[in-house]
Amino acid sequence: MSVDARSTARHCPRVTTVPDPAPLARGEPDVAAAVAAVLSGDREAFGLLHGLFARMVHAILLARVPAREADDLTQDVFLTALRKLDQLKNRAAFGPWVAQIARNRAYDHHRRSRRFDTLPAELAGRGGADALEAREALAAIRALPAAYRETLMMRLVEGMTGPEIAARMSMTPGSVRVNLHRGMRLLRDALGQKETR
């Protein structure tokens, strides 16, 4: 892929390809087996998939939509995934596939509504400087490139570890570390610039 093609792909709001998943980390559930079980009628296996990927999906949405919308949209994403699961060609690629559904759902949400963001009740209740700092941090994270925005939301908001992020997103642990490191540097720079103004 040429540099121009990579640049164009990075800025495209919808990605149609799903990368091959990274090998399962030791102790990780077999995602492909869970998908096969759901397709053969085992609805409890879908609960396992939801448990494994809900925080990742929520973080992806939180990076793109108002906080008050992220919970409902997370459920919408999983309902869509359940309805379309038979379209998933590589069963082990459930993580990247459901992540793309989340990105597309956020994109659709923005096309349909242009609302202002508010803080979740637990943050808004704090009031004052804490609420302002949380609002600024959330805005700064949302302004970052998608790869950094998503991994930072997974780490800082959802509390996922680097290996968890790598497993759910089918990324290498090294890629996750790079995204977190660069994202944190960009976030510190963005927040530092606001302080100096």
pLDDT of 67 reads: 86
The widest CA-to-CA distance across the chain, in whole angstroms, is 58
Q: What angle do CA 112, 114, 117 make, to 5 degrees?
A: 125
The 3-state secondary structure of the chain, one letter per residue: CCHHHHHHHHHCCCCCCCCCCCCCCCCCCCHHHHHHHHHCCCHHHHHHHHHHHHHHHHHHHHCCCCHHHHHHHHHHHHHHHHHHHHHCCCHHHHHHHHHHHHHHHHHHHHHHCCCCCCCCHHHHCCCHHHHHHHHHHHHHHHCCCHHHHHHHHHHHHCCCCHHHHHHHHCCCHHHHHHHHHHHHHHHHHHHHHHHHC
Q: Provide the residue-wise pLDDT of the chain in tens; the chain has 197 residues.
A: 333 333 333 333 333 333 344 444 455 679 999 999 999 999 899 999 999 999 999 999 999 998 889 999 999 999 999 999 999 999 999 999 999 999 999 988 877 765 444 545 554 445 566 677 777 888 889 899 988 999 999 998 899 999 999 999 989 999 999 999 999 999 999 888 655 44
Q: Measured between alpha carbons, how far is 45 from 68 in angstroms, rounded to an integer?
A: 28
Q: CB neighbours of 128 closer than 8 A, spacing ≥ 6?
A: none
pLDDT reported for residue 70: 92
The pLDDT of residue 129: 65
Tell me the domain boundaries of the chain: 26-196
Q: What is the pLDDT of residue 130?
A: 67
pTM above 0.85, yes or no: no
159 sits in the region (left: phi over 0; alpha: psi -120 to 50; else beta) called left
Which class in CATH covers the domain with range 26-196? mainly alpha
User: Which residues, at least 6 apart from 87, have a Cβ–Cβ distance to it below 8 Å?
Assistant: none
